[in-house]
Amino acid sequence: MKKGYIFKRGNRWFLALSDPSYASGYRIKAPSYSTRSAAQKALRERKDAVESGQVGWLSEGDTYYADYIKDYLQFVLTNHSQETLKTYKGVLKDFNIFLKEKYPRIQRLKEFFIRLFEEYKIWLKETGRKDNTVNNHIKVLKTIFNQAIRWELLKKNPIKDVRNISVEDEKPIVSLDTPEKFELFFERCKALKQEYYNHYYCTAKLGLRWKEMISLEWDDVDFENAVIIIRKKKGFIPKGRTQKDRKPKTRIISVPQDVLDILRSIEHSHEKVFLKDGSPIPFF
């Protein structure tokens, strides 16, 4: 009879336990372990328990939800950006509050069911979340439970058939896709929001994301070579990862002359380029 083995994924160690109900003959068991020796010890204890008749096969969905989430967040930390991890933690924080209020008895993955997630959508709306936020929560939870299937902890995603909310009250997206629209928008911006004109104009012309704009520092601006550098710094991690070492990508953006002129006109009163009332613009 197969005895099982340990393997490493990212920086965590997992047990693959013998289970004849699977085509591969093995089932991945949660939780994971931080060291090889801890995983080997757990595997020995499992083998001893099986051989002595103290425990049977691990049934599909028997993994504790809390154990799985702990391993899943470690997986996200290893394979994705800090921003992704932050997003997932935010969704799980709300979802766990909902579970504690409405379904405190649910402990294992197999105990989740589709109506629970439909009720979660209603709960999110009742607590003031917008439709787009609700849909993002559904998307994240589907991804989380899909990974349980890949790890052979579940055979079906309990949230698979939960539909997104139809978003009909979204504000129209401002389009700057023609020179005429671009000029009109910034004429109005200069008239109505003079204090933010530089922020908006430079951001639009350079194609900056919001956090890239508010994190930009004067050390990132190279006037001589007419470029700005988007790079990791305290409190800011840029989007994207390098293929070789998975470190945050550094991006170099050419700066047109009109933007250079605006940047030269801004007073260097702080290390940050763009300020609000003389202070750095907060992330939230």
pLDDT tens, position by position, 198-212 = 999 999 999 998 889
Mean pLDDT of 241-249: 76
pLDDT top residue among 169 and 168: 168
Is the model's pLDDT at 257 over the cut of 90?
A: yes
Q: What percent of the chain has pLDDT over 90?
A: 40
pLDDT top residue among 24 and 274: 274
113: which 2 tokens?
A: 């069911």
List, for residues 73-100, the tens digit of each pLDDT value: 988 888 888 888 999 999 999 999 999 9
List, for residues 95-153, the tens digit of each pLDDT value: 999 999 999 999 889 899 999 999 999 999 999 888 889 999 999 999 999 998 888 78
Is the model's pLDDT at 55 over the cut of 50?
A: no
List, for residues 180-192, the tens digit of each pLDDT value: 888 888 888 888 8
pLDDT for position 2: 53
pLDDT for position 217: 95
pLDDT top residue among 42 and 113: 113
pLDDT for position 49: 59
List, for residues 5-30, the tens digit of each pLDDT value: 888 888 888 888 776 666 666 777 76
The overall average pLDDT reported for the chain is: 84
Which of 65, 77, 86, 78 lies closest to 145, judged by CA? 65
Is the model's pLDDT at 56 over the cut of 70?
A: no
